[in-house]
Amino acid sequence: MNRHAGQSREGAHWAVVALPYAWLLVLFALPFAIVAVISFGEAAPDRAPPVALTGTVRNYTFLFTDPLYVSAYLGSLRIAAISTMFCLLLGYPIAYAIARAPARWRPALLAAIVLPFWTSFLIRVYAWKGILSENGLLNGFLRWSGLASDPGTLIGTEWAIYFGIVYAYLPFMVLPLYATLEKLDGSLLEAAADLGATPARAFLTVTLPLSLPGVVAGCLLVFIPAVGEFIIPDMLGGTETLMIGKVLWDEFFANGDWPLASAVATLMLALLAVPIALFQRLGAARPH
Amino acid sequence: MSTDTPFLRIEGVVRRFANVAAVDGVSLDVSRGELFALLGGSGSGKTTLLRILAGFERPDSGRVLIDGEDVTDTPPWARPVNMMFQSYALFPHMTVERNIAYGLQREGLPKGEIASRVLDALAMVELAELGGRKPHQLSGGQRQRVALARALVKRPKLLLLDEPLSALDRKLRERTQFELMGLQRKLGITFVMVTHDQEEAMTMASRIAVMDRGRLAQVASPATLYGTPASRFVADFIGRSTIVEGICLATSGDAVVVRCPTLGIDATARSDTPPEVGRPVWIAVRPENVTLGVERLATAANAVAGVVSDIAYLGGSTTLHVIVDAGATLLGSMEGAPRIGRGARVWAHWPADGGALLTK
C-alpha cells in the first residue's frame, strides 16, 4: 500500500517536472529542428511542401553575402536596440513612480499599463497609422495649435517604427522593472541618505544597481520580439526601412522560398542567443 | 547646575500622521556623551521621534538642535547624525567593506584614508577577516556589527539606534548590550536608542524617557523610574507592581494614609509631595517589597491577609499572586524556591516606603 502510494507520488512528481520540458520539446525544439533542417535544403516549387533536402549551405552563404540580408539583419538589431533604449528611458520612471505610489493606487496604475492588451495588437498599430499619417491626428494637432505650419510626415520613417515599437512593448519593460523596484527595501534608501548620499547619489548607488535584474529582464522582453517584429515596420515603416521580419515574410509568402526563409529564421535565433546569454550572465552575476 | 547648553535639545516637537499625533509636544534635553533610551510600547511615538532626529520625518512644529545648531530643516544626508537601523539596512549588493566605506565616500575623503578607517572600523567590531563578504553571507550578529561599524565609521556627533538588539537571540543580546555600552564609553559619542524592552533600557541607558501615546510619561534615571515612578503608566510599564486605588485620608510630613477598599485597609505610603486629603490616589507596590508569611508581622506598616492563587518559580526567586480578602490581587516575591503552596492563607506585608504614591 505504502509503496504503491509512494510510487504514484513519485510518478506525479516526475510528471510535473517533465511537463514543461515536454512542452518545450513539442512546441519549440521540434518545430525549430524542422525549420533548421529545411534551411539546409533547396526550393522545389513543384513539391509539397516545396522543399528538397539536399544538405546544402548555399542559403547561409547567400545570407552573408547578399547586402540586402546583411543590412536587414543589422537594421533589425539597430532598430530593436534603439527602441529598447527608448523603452528603458521611458519605462524606468513609470515603473519607479508606480512602485513609489501609495499602495492603494498601485493596482489601478498597473491595470492602466496592461489595459492596452485588451485591444487587438493589430488594431492598436493601425491606430498609430492614423495618428502619424500625413493628415493624421498628430499633424492635425500641430497645425491647429500653430506649433508647426508645415509639419513633416512621420509615417513611413524609422521614427514611426520607434513610436510603434515603444508604444507596443513599453508594458514589457515596465512590469519587470516595477517588480524589482517594488521589492526594494525603502530603509536602504534611508540608510544611504543617513550616510550622506543625496537622493540622486542614493539612486545611482543603491536603487539602480539593485534594480538591474529588472532592467535586464525588461530589455530582453522588449529587444527579442522587437528584432523579429513584422507588423509594426510593415504598417508604419517605409519601403527603405528593412527589417528581418519583413524580409522573412516576403521570402516565405511572396517568393515561396522555404529553405531561404528557414535560414533567415535560424540565423536570427542564433543572433539573438548571443545577447540573451550575455544579458543573463550579467543578471546572474548579481545576487538577489 | 552647569550652564552648558544641552548637546541635543528637542523643543516642543509635534508630528501628526493623518491627524493623529504620533509625537505630541515632546521637549527633551540630552547631555553630551549620554546613553539615552526612548522606551515605549508600539505606537508610543518613540520611533517617530528617532526618525525626526535622523531627519527622515519633519516635525509639524517644534525644533531639534544638535550641539547648539538648529537642524530641524537639515536633510538627513547633511546632519552630523548616523543611525543604526532595526533591520540593519545593509546594502545587499555591496561587500562588508564597501558598506562601511559608503558613508566615507560620500564625504569625498581620499582613498587611503577611507581604506584605513574602514579597516579600523572592522577591527573595532571584530570583523577584520570578513570584509570581503556580502551581507547575506553573515550571521545576524555579524550583520548587526557591520551596521554599527557603518554608522560609527562616520564619527557622528550623535548615534541613533533603532531597536539595536531586537533581532538577536537572548544570549547574544545580553553580551552585545555590554559591548555597546563599552564602545559608547570608549568613543564618548552620544547615543540615543529606541527600545520596547525595558530591561534593555534599564541595563544600558544612563537616562530613560518613557513614552506613552506620543508624550513623555517620565524622563529619569533607571533607578528613579523604578523606585519612584511618576504615574501608573510608568509603574506598570517598568518592572512589575501591584497598583491599587484609594483615597487620601490624611497626611503627616511625608507619610500619607490611603484608604484602599480593595485591600481592606488604610495603607501608609510616603511621598515627597503629599496629595490633598480627599483626592483619589494610587499605591504601586513592587513584588520584592512585599514580605509573605503565615503569621502576621506586628512591625510592618501595612499588612493584609489573603490566599495564594498562583506561583511562578523564576530560578533566583519566586513570584506569588495573593488574592487579598478584600478583592485585590497582590504580587509578592520570595527568594529561592517557593516555600508556600497554592491555596495557602498568608499575610502580605510591606513597609511605608515600599509603595510608591501616585496621583495620576
- CATH 2.40.50.100 location in chain B: 240-358
| Percent of the residues in chain A that have a pLDDT greater than 70, as a whole number | 95
Report the DSSP pairing between strands B265-270 and B280-285: unpaired
- Write out the H or E segment, with its range, that includes residue B135: none
- Chain A and chain B share a number of CB contacts under 8 A equal to 67
Residues 6+ apart with CB under 8 A from B206: B34, B35, B36, B221
Chain B segment 134-173 residues within 8 A of A by beta carbon are 134, 136, 150-151, 154
Interface touch B83/A210, C-beta < 8 Å: no
Q: Is B108 on the interface with A (CB under 8 A)?
A: no
Residue A174 has pLDDT above 80, yes or no: yes
Say which residue, A231 or A147, is predicted with more confidence.
Answer: A231
What is the pTM (predicted TM-score) of this model? 0.79
What 3-state DSSP class applies to A236?
Answer: helix
Secondary structure element (H or E) that encloses residue B43, with its range: none
Q: How far B100 CA lies from chain A's nearest CA (Å)?
A: 10
A191 interfacial to chain B (CB closer than 8 Å): yes
In the CATH scheme, what architecture does the domain B8-232 have?
A: 3-Layer(aba) Sandwich (3.40)
pLDDT in tens, B274-332: 777 778 888 888 888 888 888 888 787 788 888 888 888 888 888 888 888 888 888 88
Q: Give the helix, strand, coil percentages of chain B, each rounded to 5.
A: 30, 35, 35
In angstroms, the separation between the Cα of residue A181 and the nearest Cα of chain B is 14
CB contact under 8 A, A194 and B91: no
* Nearest Cα residue in chain A from B56: A190
The answer to whether A205 contacts chain B (CB < 8 Å) is yes
Answer whether residue A1 shows pLDDT above 50: no
State the cell numbers at B229. Answer: 515612578
pLDDT of the residue at B3: 45
State how far the Cα of A266 lies from the Cα of A244, in Å rounded to an integer. Answer: 12
Could you give the CA distance from residue A136 to residue A155 in angstroms, rounded to a whole number? 9
Give yes or no for residue B8 having a pLDDT over 50.
yes
Contact B106 A197 (CB under 8 A): yes
> Distance, in angstroms, between B135 CA and closest chain A CA?
11
Rounded Cα distance, A157 and B303, in Å: 99
Instruction: Please give the full DSSP string across A106-139, using - where no structure is assigned.
Output: HHHHHHHHHGGGGS-HHHHHHHHHHHHSTTSHHH
Say which of A185, A190, A210 has its CB closest to residue B56.
A190
Buried b (16+ CB within 10 A) or exposed e, B32-54: eebbbbbbbeeebbbbbbbbbbb
* Beta-bridge mates of residue B321: B310, B331
Handedness of CA B23, B28, B34, B40 (dihedral sign): negative
Q: Are B76 and A194 a contacting pair at CB < 8 A?
A: yes
DSSP secondary structure string, B59-105?
-SEEEEEETTEE-TT--GGGSSEEEE-TT----TTS-HHHHHHHHHH
Task: B253-258: list long-range contacts, CB under 8 Å, 24+ apart.
Answer: B255/B352, B256/B281, B256/B357, B258/B283, B258/B357
B55 and A286 in contact by Cβ < 8 A? no
- Nearest-Cα residue of chain A relative to residue B86: A187
Domains of chain A listed by start with CATH number: 68-284 (1.10.3720.10)
* Sign of the alpha-carbon dihedral angle for B150, B155, B160, B163: positive
Range of weakest confidence among A18-27, A64-73, A150-159 = A150-159
Q: What average pLDDT score do residues A140-160 get?
A: 81
Taking the Cβ of residue A276 and every Cβ of chain B, the question of whether any pair is shorter than 8 Å is answered with no
Which residue of B82, B92, B107 is in closest CB contact with A194? Answer: B82
**pLDDT value at residue A283:** 62
CA closest to A190 among chain B residues:
B56
All CATH 3.40.50.300 domain ranges in chain B, comma separated: 8-232
Nearest CB partner across the interface for B106, out of A185, A188, A195: A195
Q: For cell 543580546, what's the residue?
A: B173
Query: What is the distance in angstroms between the Cα of A12 and the nearest Cα belonging to chain B?
Result: 35
Class of domain B240-358: mainly beta
Q: pLDDT at position A288, please?
A: 43
Cell triple for B187 = 568613543
